[in-house]
Amino acid sequence: MANKGYILKGKVLDGTLNQPIEDGLVVTEGPHISWVGSAADLPAQFKAEEYEVIDLPGRSIMPGLVDAHTHISFGESRSEEENALYTPVEFRAIKAIYNANKVLQAGVTSAFDAATTYAVAQAVRDAIDSGMYPGPRYTVSGKQITNHQGLEDAFPSEMQFPPGQAAVLVKTKEDLVEAVRLQVKDGVDAIKVSGSNDNLITPDMADVSAFTLEELKIIADETHRLGKICSIHARSRVSSRDAALAGFDNIYHASYIDDEGIEACLKSGSVITPTLTLLVNLIEANQANAGASGSSAFQREVTAAQENLRKAHEAGVPIIAGSESGWSPVPYGQWHAREMEIFVKLLGMTPLQAIHSNTLAATRLLAPRYRDKVGKLEPGRYADILVVPGDPSKDITLLQRPSRFDYILQGGRPINRTPPEPRRRMWYERTKTFLSGLYVYDEEKSQGHFLPE
Q: pTM for this one?
A: 0.94
pLDDT (average), residues 102-121: 97
Q: Which of 368, 386, 407 is the last residue before a domain boundary?
A: 368
100 & 123 share domain? yes
Give me the pLDDT at residue 182, please: 97
Least confident interval from 275-289, 308-322, 428-442: 428-442
pLDDT band of residue 1 (cuts 50, 70, 90) is very low
CATH of the domain at 52: 2.30.40.10
Give me the pLDDT at residue 204, please: 55
Q: Does residue 22 lie within any of the structural domains?
A: yes
pLDDT exceeds cutoff 70 at 453: no
Exposure on the CB side of residue 387, measured as CA atoms within 13 A: 26
Please, is 60 exposed, middle or buried when counting C-beta atoms within 10 Å of its C-beta (0-12, 13-18, 19+)? buried
Q: Rounded to an integer, what distance in angstroms lies between the CA atom of residue 199 and that of residue 115?
A: 18
CA geometry: angle 232, 236, 238, nearest 5 deg: 90
Q: Does residue 413 lie within any of the structural domains?
A: yes
Give me the pLDDT at residue 269, please: 97
pLDDT exceeds cutoff 60 at 288: no
pLDDT exceeds cutoff 90 at 438: no
Q: Does residue 443 lie within any of the structural domains?
A: no
261 & 348 share domain? yes
Calculate what percentage of the chain has a pLDDT beyond 90.
78
Give me the pLDDT at residue 287, please: 59
18 & 154 share domain? no
pLDDT exceeds cutoff 80 at 202: no
Beta bridge partners of 232: 193, 251
pLDDT (average), residues 343-354: 98
pLDDT tens digits for range 329-340:
999 999 999 999
- Please spell the DSSP secondary structure of 333-390, one letter per residue: TTSTTHHHHHHHHHH---HHHHHHHTTTGGGGGS-HHHHTTSSS--TTSB--EEEEES
pLDDT (average), residues 95-101: 97
pLDDT (average), residues 215-219: 97
Q: Rounded to an integer, what distance in angstroms lies between the CA atom of residue 179 and that of residue 383?
A: 37
Q: Does residue 453 lie within any of the structural domains?
A: no
pLDDT (average), residues 229-255: 96
pLDDT exceeds cutoff 90 at 49: no
Q: Does residue 180 lie within any of the structural domains?
A: yes
285 & 361 share domain? yes
pLDDT band of residue 313 (cuts 50, 70, 90) is very high
Give me the pLDDT at residue 95, please: 96
Task: Please give the residue that has the higher pLDDT: either 155 or 399.
Answer: 399
Give me the pLDDT at residue 294, please: 62
pLDDT exceeds cutoff 70 at 3: no
pLDDT exceeds cutoff 70 at 141: yes
150 & 94 share domain? yes
Q: Rounded to an integer, what distance in angstroms lies between the CA atom of residue 146 and that of residue 210?
A: 8
pLDDT exceeds cutoff 50 at 183: yes
> 10 Å Cβ neighbour count for 44?
6
pLDDT exceeds cutoff 90 at 26: yes
Q: Which of 316, 266, 357 is nearest to 16 (CA)?
A: 357
355 & 403 share domain? no
Least confident interval from 88-102, 155-169, 300-314: 155-169
Q: Does residue 279 lie within any of the structural domains?
A: yes
Q: Are 216 and 166 in contact (CB under 8 A)?
A: no
Q: Rounded to an integer, what distance in angstroms lies between the CA atom of residue 202 and that of residue 185?
A: 33
76 & 55 share domain? no
pLDDT tens digits for range 59-79:
999 999 999 999 999 999 988
The distance in angstroms from the start CA to the end CA of the chain is 67
Q: Does residue 293 lie within any of the structural domains?
A: yes
By residue range, what is the domain housing residue 227?
A: 65-368
pLDDT (average), residues 71-96: 92
141 & 175 share domain? yes
Give me the pLDDT at residue 290, please: 55
Calculate what percentage of the chain has a pLDDT beyond 70.
95
pLDDT band of residue 427 (cuts 50, 70, 90) is confident
CA geometry: angle 111, 116, 120, nearest 5 deg: 90
pLDDT tens digits for range 381-418:
999 999 999 999 999 999 999 999 999 999 999 999 99
9 & 153 share domain? no
264 & 379 share domain? no
pLDDT exceeds cutoff 50 at 283: yes
205 & 72 share domain? yes
Q: What's the one-letter identity of residue 162?
A: P
CATH of the domain at 357: 3.20.20.140
Beta bridge partners of 108: 65
Q: Does residue 112 lie within any of the structural domains?
A: yes
356 & 401 share domain? no
The tally of domains found in the chain comes to: 2
List of residues 6+ apart from 98 with CB closer than 8 A: 420, 423
Q: Rounded to an integer, what distance in angstroms lies between the CA atom of residue 369 and that of residue 110?
A: 12
pLDDT exceeds cutoff 70 at 155: yes
